[in-house]
Amino acid sequence: MRMNVVLVFASVVLYACGPAVTDDPFNGDSPDGAPGQADARQSPNEFADAAPPEACSKMDILFVIDDSGSMSEEQSNLASNFPAFINVINNYVNQSGDALDYRIGITTTGRDLNYTISVGGISLPFSESGDNGALRQGSGMTRRWLERNDPNAASTFASVAQVGTGGPSIEMPLLAVDWALNDRVADGTNAGFLRDDALLALVILTDEDDCSREDNNFTISSDACTPNTPPQVHTVDSYISMLDTVKGERGRWATAVIAGPSSCTSDFGDAIEATRLKQFVADTGENAVFSSICNGDLSSALQDALDKFSAACESFPPIP
């Protein structure tokens, strides 16, 4: 969370759910050169064969993207890779012969915030504005999310996903998820996006750690997060419990976090260790995956997300 730097990208689609795509950069061996990933997905509808008829028929995908000053390259890389994802989910057909009913929404890691940085006897006040969990609505969009039959979905996503680099310097992706699915639904802003019978798929993209807090007008020594300062910074497990409550049980949501496994430097620039986001993935369990933002290319991390969402869809608990 460097000064004037904030971001979270949050959730993708299920690659294994769909048929193989010609010239798909995510098909075949992984970008890291690890063999065998393509073999595990040779059957176009392999997880539809194993799942009950209602499984994987719907997916609500939420991207939480860091919009701080250091995130320009990552946003562009995400936008360039997204058409391959749209191609996969558009071609997926479930066991009943129906196409996947998906929704894709985008928000950022920032919230409206006033705080002061006090260093060496000098106090610097900051007043920053964020999306507060509201889904972004780009030009030509008739609602705050994209759906299967929307024209030019890939190019629209590419435009909306480049959320800019003028967001708040304190990244709060977990709070953004909470507000997007609760507060902004309750006040009507995001109403209609979330469906009870759809897998909720979250993607968080950031080069900082999570520092989710709801207080205001506080004083800190820098914009770097101090991750374990309750009650100001909420516990990671409180957000996992929130998602369990929103979806009814753990098996109906999945997450992919793309952040720093440690402090690192890549073609994207510098990233710090995302301690809280690593804990979020570890405590969520089998429906979560953490991928490194330090590779300088998001294709491998997005493949990890697709694989995880596919597995979650395969075991999606039926709605009574």
CATH superfamily of this structure's domain 39-314: von Willebrand factor, type A domain (3.40.50.410)
Does residue 113 contact residue 216 with C-beta atoms inside 8 Å?
Answer: yes
Q: How far apart are CA 253 and CA 118, in angstroms?
A: 40
Please give the chain's pLDDT, 320 residues, in tens: 444 333 333 343 433 344 443 444 444 443 343 333 333 333 334 334 433 435 568 999 999 999 988 898 898 888 888 887 777 777 766 666 777 789 999 999 999 999 999 888 899 999 999 999 999 999 889 999 999 889 888 899 989 999 998 999 899 999 999 999 999 999 999 999 999 999 999 999 999 999 999 999 988 887 777 666 656 889 999 999 999 999 999 999 999 999 999 998 888 888 999 999 999 999 999 999 999 998 888 888 888 988 898 888 878 888 87
Sign of CA pseudo-dihedral 57, 292, 109, 212: positive
Q: Any idea what the Cα angle at residue 108 is, between residues 253 and 152, rounded to 5°?
A: 80
Q: Where are the beta strands (DSSP E) in the chain?
A: 58-65, 101-108, 113-119, 122-128, 146-147, 199-205, 218-220, 253-259, 264-266, 269-271, 288-292
Q: Where are the domains of the chain?
A: 39-314
Burial tier of 241 (Cβ tally within 10 Å: 0-12, 13-18, 19+): exposed
What is the structure's pLDDT at 19? 40
Q: Which structure tokens are listed for 200?
A: 């909720």
Cβ-based neighbour number of residue 154 at 10 Å: 17
Q: What's the pLDDT score for residue 229?
A: 63
**What residues contact residue 269 under an 8 Å CB cut-off, 6+ apart?**
70, 73, 207
Q: Residue 225: what pLDDT?
A: 74
Nearest-angstrom CA–CA distance, 211 and 260: 14
Distance CA 167, CA 71 (A): 10
140: left (phi over 0), alpha (psi -120 to 50) or beta: left
Predicted pLDDT of residue 21 = 39
| Contact in structure between 6 and 169 (CB atoms under 8 Å) | yes
